Amino acid sequence: MNKIWLVVKTNFINSFGINKFFKQKTNRSTIVGFLLLLLSGIIVFAFFGIYMYVYGKMFSDNGRPDEVLSMGITLGSIAIIISAITISNSYLFKFNHFDLLMSLPLTSKQILFSRIINLIITNYSIFIYFYLPSVIVYSIFNPTSFIFWVLAILGFFIIPIFPLIICSFISYYLGFIKINEKLKKVLKIIVPTLFTTILFILMIFTNNNSDDFVLNNIFDKLQKYYYPGYFIFLGIKGKILNFSIYSLVSILLLVCFTFFASRKFLKVNALHNYNKVKKDYVLKDVKKSSPLKSLFVKEAKNFFSNSTYVLNTIMGPIFSVIIAIFIIRQRSYEYIKIGEMLLDMRSVLLLLMIADIAISSMATITSSSISLEGKKMWILKSLPVKTSSIFISKIGLNILIVLPFVLINSLISILYLKLKLLEALLLILISLLIVITNSIIGLFINLLYPKLDFEHPTVVIKRSMSVFISLIFTNILIWGLSLISIVCFLITNNCLLAMAIELLIALIACLVSMLLLNKIGTNKFQKIVC
Amino acid sequence: MLVVKNLSKTYNKGKVAVDNLSLEINDGEIFGFIGHNGAGKTTTIKCCVGILDFEEGEITLDNISVVENPIEYKKQIAYLTDNPDLYEQLTGIQFLNFICDIYGISKDVRLERINKYAHIFEIDSYLGDMISSYSHGMKQKLALISAIIRKPKLLVLDEPFVGLDPKASFLVKEIMKEMCKEGSSIFFSTHVLEVAEKLCDHIAIIKNGKLVAKGTLEEVKGDKSLEDVFMELVNHE
């Protein structure tokens, strides 16, 4: 047990970069980064809190005030399932320090168990965003006792184990299936994307019809399809037997998985490497490209080879298209009354569409693209290419991935809102400028806060300082711009003028970000020690 | 000709990694850089290939400065780390092609060079496989090929023989000699004194960031063995 604790502790310190805060002298940039990280965490919590409160109120108004907790548990568990399916195999069986740990006097069980604990700890950081707000909102609309809080706190630690271990079992068996690596990667991207998209469509499109539909269809169905969530929900509400059974089953599964998977620990790890070797290559011809194109292709290959990276990026643009369709459905209303003003609904929708298109660029590829170079940074830095070419290849990929969604959303707006040429042009220009600016901001912040010594790419993509800070700035840009345009529209009742001002500010933001990248970013890139 | 003049590099916490170091490497020369762990070899090498900035000094290759004209400078060199981390998700051929594209090597030339060196290092049939599936030695060979096919004016190698099998080590030495005959120079660090003794025209010994000896092999070791000289120099306070 002592050895497991040692490995867990070392893993934890290493993967969460704990030493940076406690052992090293903290400089100003680390403190600023930490504060921004804290702020972004609060913003995300606030977002989930508001979301949960809206649903909590709706449930409460319909006489089912406790359902919000069930919703938090179910959504949190689904988020864990999506995350675990994609990352558990690499966390448990193909991690960076496999050779080192296996060479130490540790058993496979000890190593695997320590990895599972590491995986569980990582997933707590996802689960907390759903669970904590739902518990707080539950306590607002329901009377709570001391026992409830004890069970709710214990529940936080217990609930994620069940879905996590089930997914680890699935992932473990998938590791034995010898399918084409490319197909495996495509499936890893498509399955969670479809799953999350369908869930999002169900939630967003039913929200607007009738409360009863939401209550009776979506969450009842979720509870039916994910019964363990409902089971432990009853447990936290006070059914001690439910709580005990869920906890026992979770721990039993954890122990079983550790014993079971550790028996073939080496074999699974070897399979990951063995599957890929063909040894049948015959060099016949090669293609020649320009350095910039070659850098771009390299970026694209790196991007698509990491399913977590793709999923993290692609969901925002997909959601933006769904939201666009949702916004457009409101077109039956001709006017909207705000205070004394009677506003043209079409113009309001148009301004909302711009904000929606901007959302598509929020999860930027660039905010982790420098960090993901990791120990390979020496290749980029020793190449005879301008730093600007490296930046362009990274920003270019971001734009290329987001661009189709921007165009789809623009097309939806043009067709359904029957935009005039000038309106369409302004819409596209503003959208493009925001996409470019967000890509540059992501890259710039990653240059300020690179994390090259990561244990696993997922750490960089999902929970690095750079990603969180970029999220704050892109949010400020998007919502700041939207606010300015809407205020301008409310004052002038002139949509074109509001759009023109938005375009001007977007252009300034873009130029400023370019300047920052050129002046400070280039310097930071050159100073990166690899 | 590589000229390093009064190079000094200090890390953030005030640790002096390289202290007023000067050396020259002539065309067609194999230059060995020897020192204990943490002596400053890798820092010097990284400064010389333009991936680490430095506070003082000057580094030029054929009068092209690494600071003032880094692109032109880097076009002339190839660098290889002691433990090359490559783009694991690319295939071997994709990685070589990427390097060739960056260095603007024509299609025919790259085809010929890749074929030649991949065959010599016996990894030609693996070029279609992902780099992540390669063994350490194979990655080392691939990285070496990616450096050699550029036909650089200066080849900089940090511990090039780590992880290579005896046959590959022999081949690397032969290729190094062949490149020098064609006018390239080679600057490499090593812990293996026998290799330095057999291969180098000139050597330099670094201790705590300072050069403590440099010159031709004969000038440095005199009638002693290189191992004896090295031990005397590094143990001398």
Q: Name the band, by pLDDT with cuts 50, 70 and 90, for residue A487.
A: confident
Q: Which has more confidence, A103 or B136?
A: B136
d(CA B11, nearest CA chain A) in Å:
10
Question: Could you say which residues of chain B have pLDDT below 50?
Answer: none
Residue A20 lies inside a defined structural domain of this protein: no
Q: Are residues A261 and A353 in the same domain?
A: no
Q: Are residues A445 and A486 in the same domain?
A: yes
Q: Are A137 and A65 in contact (CB under 8 A)?
A: no
Q: Are residues A262 and A377 in the same domain?
A: no
Contact criterion met (CB < 8 Å) for B97 and A286: yes
Report how far Cα A255 is from the mean position of its chain's Cα atoms.
Answer: 30
Contact criterion met (CB < 8 Å) for B128 and A278: yes
Single-letter amino acid, residue B25: I
How confident is the model over A35-56, as pLDDT tens digits? 777 787 787 788 888 878 888 8
> What is the location of CATH 3.40.50.300 in chain B?
2-76+153-235
Q: Name the band, by pLDDT with cuts 50, 70 and 90, for residue A174.
A: confident
SS3 B5: strand
Query: Is pLDDT of A99 > 70?
Result: no
Query: Is pLDDT of A331 > 60?
Result: no
Q: Are residues A186 and A298 in the same domain?
A: no
- Interface predicted TM-score of the whole assembly (ipTM), two decimals: 0.73
Q: Are residues A269 and A299 in the same domain?
A: no
d(CA A462, nearest CA chain B) in Å:
20
Q: Are residues A205 and A240 in the same domain?
A: yes
Q: What distances in angstroms separate CA B208 from CA A444, B19, B20, B34, B59, one per listed residue?
A: 36, 8, 11, 12, 20
Residue A282 lies inside a defined structural domain of this protein: no
Q: Are A360 and A320 in contact (CB under 8 A)?
A: yes
Residue A39 lies inside a defined structural domain of this protein: no
Q: Among residues A226, A244, A274, which one ends one of the domains? A: A274
Q: Considering only A451-455, A483-487, B108-112, B196-200, which range has the smallest mean pLDDT?
A: A451-455
Q: Are residues A178 and A322 in the same domain?
A: no
Residue A281 lies inside a defined structural domain of this protein: no
For residue A452, the model assigns a pLDDT of 86
Contact criterion met (CB < 8 Å) for A281 and B52: no
How confident is the model over A117-136, as pLDDT tens digits? 888 988 898 899 899 999 99
Of B52, B74, B87, the CB nearest to A376: B87
d(CA A391, nearest CA chain B) in Å:
15
Q: What is the mean pLDDT of the segment spanning A160-178?
A: 83
Residue indicated by tokens 């390097």:
B99
Residue A29 lies inside a defined structural domain of this protein: no
For residue A509, the model assigns a pLDDT of 94
Neighbours of A252 (CB within 10 A): 11
Q: Are residues A231 and A307 in the same domain?
A: no
Chain A residues whose CB is inside 8 A of the B77 CB are 382
Q: Name the band, by pLDDT with cuts 50, 70 and 90, for residue A178.
A: low
Query: Number of CB pairs < 8 Å for A and B?
Result: 111
Q: Please give the DSSP secondary-structure letter assigned to residue A106.
A: -
CATH number for the domain formed by residue range(s) B2-76+153-235: 3.40.50.300
How far apart CA A417 and CA A412 sit, in angstroms, is 8
Contact criterion met (CB < 8 Å) for B124 and A383: no
Number of domains chain A contains: 2
Closest residue on chain A to B81 (Cα): A378
d(CA A304, nearest CA chain B) in Å:
9
Contact criterion met (CB < 8 Å) for B50 and A276: no
Q: Name the band, by pLDDT with cuts 50, 70 and 90, for residue A213.
A: very low
Sequence-separated (6 or more) residues with CB below 8 Å from residue B202: B25, B29, B30, B31, B32, B214, B215, B216, B217
Chain A residues whose CB is inside 8 A of the B114 CB are 283, 286
Residue A385 lies inside a defined structural domain of this protein: yes
Domain residues for the domain of A462 are 291-527
Q: Among residues A247, A274, A301, which one ends one of the domains? A: A274
Is beta strand B56-61 parallel, antiparallel or unpaired with respect to B64-65? antiparallel
Query: Is pLDDT of A293 > 70?
Result: yes
Q: Are residues A313 and A363 in the same domain?
A: yes
Interface test with B, best of A286, A299, A301, A453 (most B CBs within 10 A): A286
Query: Is pLDDT of A276 > 70?
Result: no
Q: What is the mean pLDDT of the segment spanning A341-349?
A: 72
Q: Are A126 and A87 in contact (CB under 8 A)?
A: no
Chain A residues whose CB is inside 8 A of the B84 CB are 378
Residue B58 forms beta bridges with which residues?
Answer: B5
SS3 A365: coil
d(CA B30, nearest CA chain A) in Å:
21
Q: Please give the DSSP secondary-structure letter assigned to residue B216.
A: E
Q: Are A529 and B12 in contact (CB under 8 A)?
A: no
Closest residue on chain A to B114 (Cα): A283
For residue A330, the model assigns a pLDDT of 61
Of B70, B72, B107, the CB nearest to A286: B107
Residue indicated by tokens 């997933």:
A123
For residue A417, the model assigns a pLDDT of 82
Q: Name the band, by pLDDT with cuts 50, 70 and 90, for residue A283.
A: confident
Chain A residues with at least one Cβ partner in B under 8 Å: 25, 181, 273, 276-283, 285-291, 293-295, 297-298, 301-302, 305-306, 374-376, 378-379, 381-386, 526-527, 529-530
Q: Which helix (H) or strand (E) holds B34?
A: strand B30-35
Q: Are A130 and A280 in contact (CB under 8 A)?
A: no
For residue A152, the model assigns a pLDDT of 94
How far apart CA A9 and CA A5 sit, in angstroms, is 6
Sequence-separated (6 or more) residues with CB below 8 Å from residue A523: none
Q: Are residues A306 and A265 in the same domain?
A: no
Q: Among residues A225, A243, A274, which one ends one of the domains? A: A274
How far apart CA A279 and CA B213 sit, in angstroms, is 47
Q: Are residues A138 and A251 in the same domain?
A: yes
Residue A59 lies inside a defined structural domain of this protein: yes
d(CA B77, nearest CA chain A) in Å:
9
Query: Is pLDDT of A423 > 80?
Result: yes
Q: Residue length, chain A?
A: 530
